[in-house]
Amino acid sequence: MTTIDWDSAADSFDEEPDHGLLDPVVRHAWARRLESWLPGGRSDVLDLGCGTGSLSLLAADQGHRVTAVDRSPRMVELARTKLAGTDTVVHLGDAARPPVGAQRFDVIIARHVMWLLPDPAAVLRHWFGLLRPGGRLILIESVRGGVGLSAERLTGLLSACTERVHHEPLSDDPQLWGRRVDDERYALVARAQPPHRHTEVVDVHLILRRGPEVLLARRAGTGYADGLLHAPSGHVEDGEDVREAMIREAAEETGVELGPQELRVALVMQHRGPGGAPRTGWFFEAEYDPARAPYNREPDKCSELGWFPLHALPDDMVAYCRAGLDGYRAGERFLIHWHEDGDPVAYRPDGARRAVPLPAGGAGTGAVHHIELWVPDLAAAERSWGWLLGELGHVPYQHWEHGRSWRRGESYVVVEQSPDLVPGPHDRRRAGLNHLAFHVRDRAVLDALVTGAPEHGWRPLFADRYPHAGGEEHTAAYLEDAAGYEVELVAGARRPRPAPEEPAPYADVWARRRD
């Protein structure tokens, strides 16, 4: 690297009456220029390669807070003497990497400095990083006797950092130099661009339901996450809304032609892949129609389509999609899923859980916060209730010596074997809790729960009347655990069950429930 004698180099460009700006006419001319370049209000100014501090003094006299830097001890000493009595701070250091730490400035001034730097492009990037948003960089340069940096070249270097460069010729103003000059002298005022407005890719994901199962596609030949399962998905294109994009992607990938009324928003997730940029995904839910069975329309991008149980998803999935489906199953509406750069793209059962649920504005007044059941045997209750609540989409929430809880959305269910529990079994016929009732998506899910319940400590009630023990218009199952707690699992539309009337076809059912 070439070693530069900075004192000699600076002196060679200042062998004129403007050296030190001692001439009142020259000083006044520079003060006027500086006033036109600097902000109108008080600002923080960094003067790089300050020399004896003449421009720093002009800026300080105009009311600005000035920090000055020069790598020449002699210049720093002169500048400190000249600037005594102002609040200007003068540092000994390299103008290319000024010793200002994390401090940021409204203006950076560099006069006859750029031409001396071995890597001006890198220096400009660093200087722009020292500016506040909307700040300005003032560069005063020249080409004398073929030596220096032309305005054209310096403007080109600045174009990599900003689109706003003002070129101001200075050669035609003899008052700046104390005489007429015929070489190229100029100032460039470059504005730091405000931070770019954040933009994200928007993608859409289809949760196509066939009872308790969802449709997944195995990626192949795409160069990203190949071999892993993912829901049918794609990007929103220009001019599309998210629903239009989902309809298009479903048709392109699976051949399923969905109508807008068939799509329901299931989840919105902001996601960042390892080492990637953020994106926002919309997960839409739709029901399987046997008359429109999905098939693989993109064999070059997908090696197979298959149905998988939502409650037991496979592990060989894209972590992003798995997080979305887990959140959907848990009743979440909004998630952030932020990978660390070293994370794998694939889901890892033993890996860190990156999904963070976002409450949807908080539960409204009157919504159920939690339900607490006191049980005589915590271990047995954990097995039975843990299975059932897990199948219904609740996720483990709290765990302490005497209790457990499972959460779904804003509400949670607690089972606790409290030290304060009084002796005696639970009796749903006494005053107090009779039973808990939960929504179930459809008859297929209900059948699967009823089939699996006995293995987990639940016995069916009114099995001979299943699934209409509550009436012909009411599709439900009734289960009881070993401690005598009853749950009702209601399939289908959200409508209230009619109250029993006497006489009624199933009045005997209600009588039996009282027995």
Q: Which CATH class is domain 201-357?
A: alpha beta
Closest among 353, 365, 354, 352 to 410, alpha carbons compared: 365
Q: Which CATH class is domain 428-515?
A: alpha beta
The alpha carbon dihedral of 251, 254, 258, 263 has a sign of negative
Q: Which fold has domain 364-424?
A: 2,3-Dihydroxybiphenyl 1,2-Dioxygenase; domain 1 (3.10.180)
Burial level of 232, CB count in 10 A (0-12/13-18/19+)?
Answer: buried
Q: How many CA atoms lie within 13 A of 176 on its CB side?
A: 16
- Architecture per CATH, 6-191: 3-Layer(aba) Sandwich (3.40)
Measured in degrees and rounded to the nearest 5, phi and psi for residue 434 equal -95, -50
Tens-digit pLDDT profile for the chain (515 aa)? 333 343 444 444 444 444 457 889 999 999 999 999 999 889 999 999 999 999 999 999 999 999 999 999 999 999 999 999 999 999 999 999 999 999 999 999 999 999 889 899 999 999 999 999 889 999 999 998 889 999 999 999 998 888 788 999 999 999 999 899 999 999 999 988 765 667 889 999 999 999 889 999 999 998 889 999 999 999 999 899 999 999 999 999 999 999 999 999 999 999 998 888 899 999 999 999 999 999 999 999 999 999 999 888 999 999 999 999 999 988 888 999 999 888 899 999 888 788 998 877 666 678 889 999 999 999 999 999 999 998 888 888 899 999 999 988 778 999 999 999 998 889 999 999 999 999 987 888 899 999 999 999 999 999 999 999 988 889 999 999 999 999 999 987 544 444 444 433 344 444 444 44
| CB count in 10 Å sphere of residue 506 | 17
Q: Where are the domains of the chain?
A: 6-191, 201-357, 364-424, 428-515
Q: Which helix (H) or strand (E) holds 77?
A: helix 73-82
Q: Residue 86 and residue 20: Cα distance in Å, rounded? A: 17
Is 292 in a helix, a strand, or coil?
helix
- Is 6-191's fold the same as 364-424's? no
Measured in degrees and rounded to the nearest 5, phi and psi for residue 32 equal -65, -45
What's the longest Cα–Cα distance across the chain?
Answer: 115
